[in-house]
Structure formats: C-alpha cells, structure tokens
Structure 1
C-alpha cells in the first residue's frame, strides 16, 4: 500500500478521499483543499475532520459563545479565562483554583461504564494541564424515565464508571445532580466537573514555544480505542484490510491516570515544562495543533515514535485515537533527562516525538516521510463558523399558554399530606443516596460539605481553613418553557446554592446540552439560553471562565429539553463557619427568606401530580438573588444562621423535608395569615431560601434583613420528630424518610 505523503498528495489531486464519511461537508472539504493548495493526505484529512467536528471546533455555537467575552463583568479574581484547558480564579492567600465542566454524553449511552469513567478522566486531565492538583469532582447526570428499561441499563453503568474511576484516583465526589425525564431517553447527559488547586506562580498554559524544545508524549500507550469519539468516523475507511471498526468509546485506566497526575505535578514542581496539553478529544491531532498554534513557531513530529498498544494502527488512527491517560509536554533540551527520570520513577512511559521549529507549519513524519504539512491554526482555531438559522418554534406560544393554573390542586390537609409524600418519593425529589453512596465523598480528608448539601465544599488550606464551594444546577423543564429565563434560573440556583453554604460566588463554568443545531427551533433555544446566561453573569458579576457545548442530543426529530447546566464556584475564608442544610438543634427558629408567588410552570408538583409541562417558568430577579446571597453569606460568617437551604425543585416543602431528615429533627410550620398553604409549600418562586436561626440571634438577623430590604418571615420552629404543618397535616420523620429513600433502590434494583 502506498503511503499517502504530502508529495504523493500533490501528484494525485484526483484521488478520492472519504471526507463525507468523516463528517466533513462539501464546502468544508473544499476549504481544506484551498488552505493546503492541494488535496489533503489521509493523515491531514483525519486531523481536519476531527478538529473541525462540532465537539472540537464549536462551529455552530461560536457566534453565540462570544457573548461570554463581550458581556463579561469586570473581575479582579480572574487569572485565566476562556480559551485554555480550564479557567483559573484567584481565591486569596496566593492560591488559585481552576475548574471546568464538560460532557461525555454520547459515549456514556453507547458504553455507560467506560463513557462515564473516561469523562471523569478527561476533565481531571484538563485541570491537571493548568498546573493544578485535582482535589474534587462532581457529576450532573440526566437519564430517561426512571422506570424505563434502558434507564436500568445506562444508569448503573454510568454511576459505577464515575465511582470506579474517581474512587481509584482518590478524588472526592462532592456534588452534582440526578434528573429523570423521558426527553433524555436515548440521550442521557453525563456531565463531569473537576476542581483543582495551585499557587499563582504554578499556572501552566498550552503552548509550544522555544525553537529546539522537545515535544514529549507521556502516559499510556496509544491504542485503537476512542477513534471516532468526536466525529462520525469508521477506521475501515483508511484501510479496509485492517482490523474491524475500532470502538468509539475510550477505555480508562484510573491507576495509570493516578501515576500520570503525580508524575506531572512533580515535573511542574521542578519547573521542567514550557507548555503542556492533555490528550482528550481528537487526541494527538488536537494536542499537536493546539500547542503549535498557541506557540511562537512550528512543530515537527515523528509519528512512528509514538508508543503503541496495537502495532497495526495506521498513521491516521494514531492521530485520531482518543486513548486515555496521555499528556504532551514541551520541554527544553537541558531538562529532558530529568523529565525522563521523573517519568521512570512513576512508571510512566515517556517518548520524545518531535521538537519546536522556527517555522510556521505543523509537520508530521512517518518513517521519515512527510504525511502532514499544515498551518496549525487552520486545524485548531480557524475551522468553519456557522451562522445557523434560528427561529422561535411555532409550538412555543401554545406551550406557554398551557398554564398549570387550570390543574386540580390539593385541598385540605389530607390531600396536601398525600401530595407531599408523592413529591418527596418521586424519582427527581427522592434521596439519591443509592447513587452517591457509591462515590467516595471524603477521601483526602478535606471535604467539608458533600451531597446532599446545597453545594460541595473543599478546604484548600489546612492552616487557615480557606475553602471553595461549587454547585451545579440546570432545569431543562424551565428552559423548555423559556430558554432565556431557564438559563438564568440555572445560574441563579447555582449562585444561591453556593451562597447558602456561606461562600461568596466568584465564577461560572457551563455545559450547554442541546439537540441538533441544524434544527432552527433548537438553535433558537441555544441562542436564547446563551444570551440569558451571558446577561445573567453580567448582572451577578460572575464571569464565565470556560465550559463545553454538547449538541446533537437528539433521537430522530425529538430533541432533549434545552439543558444549560451551570456550575458556580465560590470562596469561603473559613470553612469551619460553613452553613449546612440540616436542622440540627431543637428550638431553632425557621425563617423563609424572599417572596412566594403562585408560580408552578415547569414545577416538580405539576410534573409529579399531573405529568404536566406548560406555562411560564418562575420569574428571575437577579438583584434579589444578589441581596439574598449577601444575607446568607453575612449570616453564616457572623453566626446568625445555623442552617440554610435554597428553595428550588419542589419548593418549600421539599427543602423542609430535606433539612428535617438531614438533621434528624422535625419542624412545626405555621402558614401565615392570608397565605394559601398549597402555594406556600409547593411554589417554586426563585430568590428564596429557608434558614434556621438561633433564638439568641433572631433580633440581629431580622434587623439585618430589614435594613437591607429582604423579606424574612418566621414560619416555624425546629421541634419534635415530625414535619408538622399546623392546621393541615403531620408527617412523622420515620414515614417521610421511608418514602424519600425507598424509590431509587426499588427502581434500579
């Protein structure tokens, strides 16, 4: 078989190439030919096809994502923003924290265990590549209907993959979400977040600078797994006589990743690295082109020196393989020997595969013959940019007009009691302990808060007790009703969850999960959600530091609900002053903060009681969210609040049930005069929280709320062993606990 070199490509312009099978459009292929001035080689075609895929190039979303930069609020804490492996923020005392959320949706449907496991591994390496030690992970998950047979196939594998990989790495899993909805049938969402910590001076960037510096590939050997993970790709296209189609889902080895982490942190500590990039989506195609395009020169790579697990791999397959646990470092010649010594110490394979050149091209050779000669920016950063048509769908008006006010509501104590039990035992509101119990939440000894708290919290300095809190939130039902408002509600809830624990929100990462961008209705949802999130971040003063877009989450013509998942990171000066959700002491006074309105569009009650989705989602008041956050943070810092829980899915009664069960104490609740009990208990109005205030601090707390103009209504007291809504119903905690905990084990078993 003739090797398709650049020289051969120039001489054989009419050779047919499988560009369509690799996911390129006709005009995209023509643009590659125009860039190169000839047809691409097979290796070049492989690189452009994966790097210009939706997953890697953001070609349908770029025009909207620019708002995150254009509308970015002024920030004195942002150290590294959008464009690097992960964003970095200053949290004080010389510490920097990096965090990012990404998706691994499609692989997790095809192969749940490995898809989810390698999603964790990939996001951990993104954090590592910034120079940080990974300290925690989180996983927002969404599955189809809880009782659907395929959910029973996908969910256990996903949970086992997350737990298996993260537990083996020794990283605590401190939060996330689990949501069930039929719209995710066939398109589960498996989003993964990682948090890392470093000193300011330890930040590393992905760039290849310095002529003569060596390109070192280190970590696991390259195999055939993961080929096609980021584009529609069949390996037979290149060599029909080779092995059968490679698996599209990567195979993870957490023990190899643990060695890679420790090895990388040691070479960082000795300052041996000029630039670094992990090998995730698009593998070597991505790492080499991004490092070269961000550097000051070109790059030459000897591809045949790459250590392989499978000697039958073609050059194209090596370039596209997404085998896990690999990194690419740029190292000065004088530091190579020491770099290799450290890799050998950690039993990590390391190979010099090339060097930085003084040119402007990325050149790749196979046994001495050139198979790639491209301008690296055209591969990594100058892919197609589409202005996809978008239009508000015809059905949106009818959906919003289908208001839940027409639905039958419970009347009287017995019906309210039954509604509460139905809510707390529904799959989305039931305890997720069956899932979170499979994750190690406290390894490393610095976990301060974890599920089911409002946000996860990690101590990052054992002497000063400096810490960070992270929450992820997203409500696809709200976003389906109004994508702009739905995105802001996701942001507001994550912001509120962080503040409820006593931490000050600083920055945002997002994972935008949507259907096909070729559908104008879906593209409208995306455009509106992105606009809403950008506007919301500007109003709250929390810049977007990075994130991920996942499109084509669709089966046939049926897309998932638009699901923008928002992660908010906050800082707390002293984690010993954090606020949990638990009603821990009898006699604490229960206060409802914020205003409750008759808002049931997209609510948990409407879903559980009537399987209904319609109307408008709750209104958003971002200034009120900021005020509520200030009260929650000040109250936590000054000892005025013993417990706090944000009000979101399920409303007040869900929050009360969770706080009672978490603390093992009941509560006596009084419905204020002139207030409808059903609305008080089940409404999902935003900008609210329930708090437990020590009796000794009541006057100081109410004075603070009054002075700042935040409505604060005393609705009860922590007391007894039941949730007692006086004049309506009483629910013993034993009955509440049984209903709350039985659902998931019964469904999944």
Structure 2
C-alpha cells in the first residue's frame, strides 16, 4: 500500500459506495469483499480493508483448515482436556506439570519469509514464537528449530541454509535461550520452499497464566516495545497466503507487486521486552495481553477486543512510529517486531509506565476498552475503522475446500520397495552403512547445531545430538521437561493418516527415551496449496491421523499452526505435519543419555519388532531415488507400552543409555550411539536374521537400550511381563574403538566419525 494524503474516513466511505477498491491486490476474493461490505453496510475504508485483508488471509484466519481442525476438539476427552490450562485458540497451549508449575509451548512457521530473506525470516520466526510464549505470562526457557531444505548440493540450498541457520542462532543466542532440539532434512520438494518451523517452551507458575482479552470498560490499551515501521507491511500474513509462481518470483518479487518486506528483528530489544513483561506480570499490572506478530496491530486490537466483554477505542496517531508519512492502513498492517499490547487498569497505568521506563521500553496509551460493541480506530480525529471485532478476528470466511484422494496414490502404494536390489555381501553391507551414515539426511548436524547455544542459563541437561532435549524447571526438586519435534514427510506422502501418526509416535518415543513421560502435543502442519483437492485430502487425513493418535495415547493437542501454499508453481512440498511432544520428569538426574559408554560391558537390547519395511525409507531414497510402497506400520498401544518401560527403567536405574530407531534403522542407531558415547560395540544379530533387513529396515516402535549386566534379568523380565519384544544384539565395549557387527563388518570409530561428521562442513563450509 502506498502512502496517501487523504484519510479515508468511515463517513467518506459510507458516502462513496461505488468507488472501486483494490481488494484483489490485497488478497481478498470478490465474494469476501462483498461480505465485508455486507457486514459494514457500506464500502470499507482503506484502513478497514487493510485489516480485513490481513486478518482474513490464510495465515491468520485458517479459512481453509478450520473445518478440519475442529476434529482435534471432537477427539479430546475430558481426561485429556483436564491436563490443559489453555489450549487451541490461545497464543500457546499450557499444561500443568505439578508442584504449581505449568509449561507453555508452541510450534509456528516462518517458511516463505525465510526463503525471501533467509537471515531475517528465520530470526523473526524465532522472535515471533518467543512472544507467543511471553503473552501467556511465561518466561521463555528454550527453543527448537525443525528445518527442511532442498537437495543439500543444490546452489539455492547453499544460499538459504547458512542464512537461516545463522538467523535462528543469532536471535536465540542473543535472547539467551538454549536451542535443545529440532531437525534438518533435505528433499527436492523443498527446493523452492524451505520450511522454517520454530518452537518455544516457557515455564510459569500456574496462577501467573495470562490470556489475550480486553475486558473492563475504561481499561487502557498500552502499546509497548519497538516503534512501528514500514518493515514487514503485511509480512507473513501475505507471504504465507499464496503460492509463489516460481522461485524467481519469491526471490525478486517479479510478478508480485504486493510482495511485502520481510520483518527485521532486534533480539536485544526482545530480550529487554521479556524482562519488562515478567516484571509487569509479577507486579500484577496486566489484565490482558497480546503479542504483535502476523497482521500486527490489526491482529492485536481485533483479537483483544473480540475476546473481551465490550468494544475498544484506539487513537492511531498515538502509535510511536519510526517512519514518516505512514498512513493508517500501513500502521495497522505493519509487522514490525518486538511489540506487545496490554490491557491495563487506569489506576495501574503509572506503575506500568514506570516499569517500562526502568527497562527503557517505549510504552504509549493508544486507547481504551469501551462499553460498546465495535472496534473504533481514529486517525487525526477522523474515524477510519468502525467494525465488529469478531468479524475481523474470528468470523472470517470458512471454506469447505474440495477433498479428493489423488489417483496417483494407488500407483505410489503399488511401487513396492522390496523389489529393489539390495546389498547382500559383507562388503556391500559395510559400504551401504558408511554411505548412509554420511548421507545429508543421516549425517551429524554438528555444523548446524554448533552455531546454537545449548546450555545458556545452566538448566539444559540434554540437547543435540540427544534424541530429545531436556531442561530443569525447578532447581529445588529437579523437576524437568523434555521436548522433541519429528516428521518423516516421505511416510506422509505414502499415507498421510499413517504418516502423521508415525510423526507423533517418533516424537513421543524421542521424549520417552530421555526418561520423561510424554504429556502433550503441539504441531505445525506444512502443506501445499489448499486449492488443490489432493493437498486437502493429505491435510484432512493427516489431521485425523494425528487427532486419533493423540486420543489413543491419551495426550492432548494443545495448539499449533497451519502453513499452506508451500508450493512453487504447481509443485507442492511433501506433506509435512511436524509434531512436537512435551514430556515431564520428576528428577532430571535420572535422565537417559543417547550414547553408550561408561565402563562398557553393558548389554545392548533391541526393544520392539523388526519387519521388512522399506517404504519411504532413507535407504530407498539414497540408493535408488525411490519413493513408493507403504510406510512402516504404527502401533500406538505398543508405543505407549514402550514409553512406560523406558520411564520405569529410568526411574529404577536399569538403563544406562537409550537411542530411538528411525531413519536408517538399527545401523544408524548403532553408529550414532557409539560415536556420541565414544565407545565401541560388538553386535551379534539373531541367527535367522537377514542382516540387511535387521540393519536398515525402518520399522517403528523400536529403541536400542544399553543395560548394565546387573540389571539385565530384571529389565528383560519387565519387558516379558508387558509382552514387549526384547532381543539381545550385543554389548558395549569400552575397550574397543570400533563397531564390530559379526559376519558383516568391523569399522573403526575413526572411519565412522569421518563419514558421519564430514558431510555438512564439506557442503557449507
């Protein structure tokens, strides 16, 4: 939107009903624009049109996903709901973890901005999710970053990956937040549309929970934090709501006249804002609060008013600006970072301002709660917005998009990977193991994760390369939390329902292998265009799979994010429903590490059942460039039993180390647990085992555990009593510096390390 000299007032809009407005350029369809005129009974002002356009965008309104997301609520039992202090619809989910403590956590996407401007797109993605956590009344304590890129060797991956990683690390490190988890995945489908998902976790006392609502006539609306600028006009709300016509369009803006600038972040300003908010909460100075993220002031004012018990009056000319000549539409649409909006009782405004002054945070009263029904916004004494706030924030269009299972789905399922040529000699198996360990999707992420601070603040007890991250919450009791994010999009492409459940199962399992009990779920559902019936079928199936899976496991979905239009032209990404699982542990000193080690001599046991399952596997992709067949079976009842065994084993001191089996199967788990623990291992597969199947199959529900010999009988008896398959596959050997797989290969750890750790530095420097 360009600056204009004339303010388009409500009175002027009502008296000029026939003047054309550029609603299509703002992303509004003809029928949506007609509905706005029907709601208002007149032509909207320029400022009103801007508000509706950003708030009714796909990113903000969930207009294509609402019809399916309601299934989460339908499948949430009263018992599951009782665990939540806040759930879907709030800035972030909040769960009670005991002893008066609560945890809030959420996943969000910043995909499209990160392709346009990798560093700032990723950095402000972290900043935005952190403010969601702040808005719940919590102190942010950790972040995680599930990332997905095009082929590792592609030129554009070399452009976006270093900037995105630097942005995640730069913002999180400056905030003093440890990065304790995430993923880095490479696939051709992300070449023109990388995925930058960000997760934040916060802790609070249960009684300190804050929600976003503007209640109490006469209460003041205070905007505080950074000044409002032209950066990020429409920002993510526009970028995430349509498909790039081509990679060039996304990069240069060709053919996209309304391409907004990507938001610019200042992590030091956000660091101060965090401490300022926490003091405001401690002093009881806040009635309601909302962060300014996607859609900026349009979102904050309309959502606060919509969730309150009256209306709201805002004087827009009071908003502190950092750019001259901004008009009301631009001020309302700006997504400038590091801003919050609070509702404050009149008698507490002076105290609120004094706290902000101490932290050198700009704060301005921009309006007040009224006893009316509408959101009224004035600019230089002209009424430029007069709207029912719910119509902006919560009553946008809801689409029943066509849903159709693609015909090619049958062809993909029939393309059986078990017919592919396999290695069968020891030399071929050895070469395959090393090739897979060095592949971009299985190699060490140290080049990425070394750019993040894992241990700042001193409460991290597990971080990368552990399967799940773990933090101490209460220093007195040792109570802690664990988190993991996971998704294998190749599985989801083969079967969206099962693929979503496999993502849930792996994140659930990765929390359990730390010794924590899985407690709650968040998600970030990344898909192609909702205007494609095949994509909507994938989305529908994934939502149902995830919701049904959570119901079976007995853990609630507390909230999440939907990211559509992840396509470049007609090419959609693989359906990627990233699942984050939060777990709790009563004493972090009983955490389970991922690497074998210690004195050695521990027994290596494989929990779970190994089957000939290669659909969507990393072996099929790497060796044969194959994606077909069916994904591994998922047995959530077995996953629940497995988690209970791991938690009990941790509590009773029966497990020395544990490592989840996922991509790459047992072979990859052996490589990683040996290298992480810097300990050799002697492996003996069952006599009737097919070495290739046992080493590389990706059957779900499996964990490799290292058990002290003194606890072996007690542990195996516990597994037998629960009907959990438990197979002895070897011993940890501290005196050896090799991985010795009987009748297959003996590979020195130095050779394994060279293969595992050399790939990303060679690609990205």
Where on the TM-score scale, by shorter chain, does this alignment land: which range? Answer: over 0.9
**Residue 49 (structure 2) aligns with:** 45
Q: How many positions carry a matched residue from both structures? A: 740
> Structure 2, unaligned stretches of length 5 or more?
241-256
Question: Is the CA contact 1:21–1:233 (under 8 Å) kept in the aligned structure 2?
Answer: no
In structure 2, C-alpha distance between the alignment counterparts of 1:545 and 1:231, rounded to whole Å:
23
Question: Is the CA contact 1:224–1:247 (under 8 Å) kept in the aligned structure 2?
Answer: no
**Residue 744 (structure 1) aligns with:** 760
**Residue 482 (structure 1) aligns with:** 495
1:313 deviates by 1.1
Pairing 1:103–2:116 present: no
Pairing 1:169–2:181 present: no
Task: Summarize the alignment of residues 212-231 of structure 1 with structure 2, pairs less than 5 Å apart.
Answer: 212-231=218-237
**Residue 438 (structure 1) aligns with:** 451
**Residue 714 (structure 2) aligns with:** 700
In structure 2, C-alpha distance between the alignment counterparts of 1:504 and 1:437, rounded to whole Å:
28
**Residue 13 (structure 1) aligns with:** 17
Task: Summarize the alignment of residues 390-539 of structure 1 with structure 2, pairs less than 5 Å apart.
Answer: 390-539=403-552
Pairing 1:153–2:167 present: no
2:296 aligns with one of 253, 272, 283: 283
**Residue 695 (structure 2) aligns with:** 681
In structure 2, C-alpha distance between the alignment counterparts of 1:430 and 1:299, rounded to whole Å:
54
With normalisation by structure 1, the TM-score equals 0.98
Question: Is the CA contact 1:461–1:467 (under 8 Å) kept in the aligned structure 2?
Answer: yes
2:612 aligns with one of 598, 609, 621: 598
**Residue 247 (structure 2) aligns with:** none
Deviations 1:634-676 (A, max 9, x none): 1011100010011111101101110000011011110101110
1:233 deviates by 8.4
With normalisation by structure 2, the TM-score equals 0.96
Pairing 1:323–2:329 present: no
1:566 deviates by 0.1
Task: Summarize the alignment of residues 109-188 of structure 1 with structure 2, pairs less than 5 Å apart.
Answer: 109-188=115-194
Task: Summarize the alignment of residues 535-684 of structure 1 with structure 2, pairs less than 5 Å apart.
Answer: 535-585=548-598, 586-684=600-698
2:751 aligns with one of 715, 735, 748: 735
In structure 2, C-alpha distance between the alignment counterparts of 1:676 and 1:72, rounded to whole Å:
42
1:82 aligns with one of 76, 83, 88: 88
Question: Is the CA contact 2:233–2:333 (under 8 Å) kept in the aligned structure 1?
Answer: yes
2:236 alignment partner, SS class? coil
**Residue 392 (structure 2) aligns with:** 379
**Residue 2 (structure 1) aligns with:** 6
Q: CA RMSD of the aligned region, Å?
A: 1.1
In structure 2, C-alpha distance between the alignment counterparts of 1:245 and 1:547, rounded to whole Å:
28
**Residue 366 (structure 1) aligns with:** 379
**Residue 65 (structure 1) aligns with:** 69
1:34 alignment partner, SS class? helix
**Residue 716 (structure 1) aligns with:** 730
1:385 deviates by 0.2
Deviations 1:25-53 (A, max 9, x none): 10000000000000100000000000000
Question: Is the CA contact 2:218–2:370 (under 8 Å) kept in the aligned structure 1?
Answer: yes
**Residue 248 (structure 2) aligns with:** none
1:2 deviates by 3.0
1:252 aligns with one of 262, 265, 269: 265
In structure 1, C-alpha distance between the alignment counterparts of 2:740 and 2:475, rounded to whole Å:
41
In structure 1, C-alpha distance between the alignment counterparts of 2:323 and 2:167, rounded to whole Å:
25
**Residue 249 (structure 2) aligns with:** none
In structure 1, C-alpha distance between the alignment counterparts of 2:112 and 2:29, rounded to whole Å:
21
Question: Is the CA contact 1:226–1:246 (under 8 Å) kept in the aligned structure 2?
Answer: no
In structure 1, C-alpha distance between the alignment counterparts of 2:287 and 2:562, rounded to whole Å:
29
Question: Is the CA contact 1:205–1:275 (under 8 Å) kept in the aligned structure 2?
Answer: yes
In structure 2, C-alpha distance between the alignment counterparts of 1:536 and 1:360, rounded to whole Å:
41
2:37 aligns with one of 33, 40, 45: 33
1:248 deviates by 2.4
Q: Cα distance 1:565–1:120, how it changes in 2: closer, same or farther (>3 A)?
A: same
> Structure 1, unaligned stretches of length 5 or more?
235-243
2:199 aligns with one of 186, 190, 193: 193
Deviations 1:546-602 (A, max 9, x none): 000000000111100000000000000000000011101310100000000000000
1:232 deviates by 4.0
1:246 deviates by 7.9
In structure 2, C-alpha distance between the alignment counterparts of 1:247 and 1:535, rounded to whole Å:
39
Q: Cα distance 1:233–1:742, how it changes in 2: closer, same or farther (>3 A)?
A: closer
2:461 alignment partner, SS class? strand
In structure 2, C-alpha distance between the alignment counterparts of 1:565 and 1:227, rounded to whole Å:
28
Question: Is the CA contact 2:659–2:704 (under 8 Å) kept in the aligned structure 1?
Answer: yes
Deviations 1:407-448 (A, max 9, x none): 111012100000000000000000010000000000000001
1:231 deviates by 4.2
Question: Is the CA contact 2:113–2:239 (under 8 Å) kept in the aligned structure 1?
Answer: no
1:505 alignment partner, SS class? strand
In structure 2, C-alpha distance between the alignment counterparts of 1:50 and 1:380, rounded to whole Å:
10
1:230 alignment partner, SS class? helix
1:431 alignment partner, SS class? coil
In structure 2, C-alpha distance between the alignment counterparts of 1:136 and 1:407, rounded to whole Å:
43
1:245 deviates by 7.3
Question: Is the CA contact 2:225–2:339 (under 8 Å) kept in the aligned structure 1?
Answer: yes
In structure 2, C-alpha distance between the alignment counterparts of 1:309 and 1:37, rounded to whole Å:
35
Question: Is the CA contact 1:259–1:348 (under 8 Å) kept in the aligned structure 2?
Answer: yes
**Residue 238 (structure 1) aligns with:** none
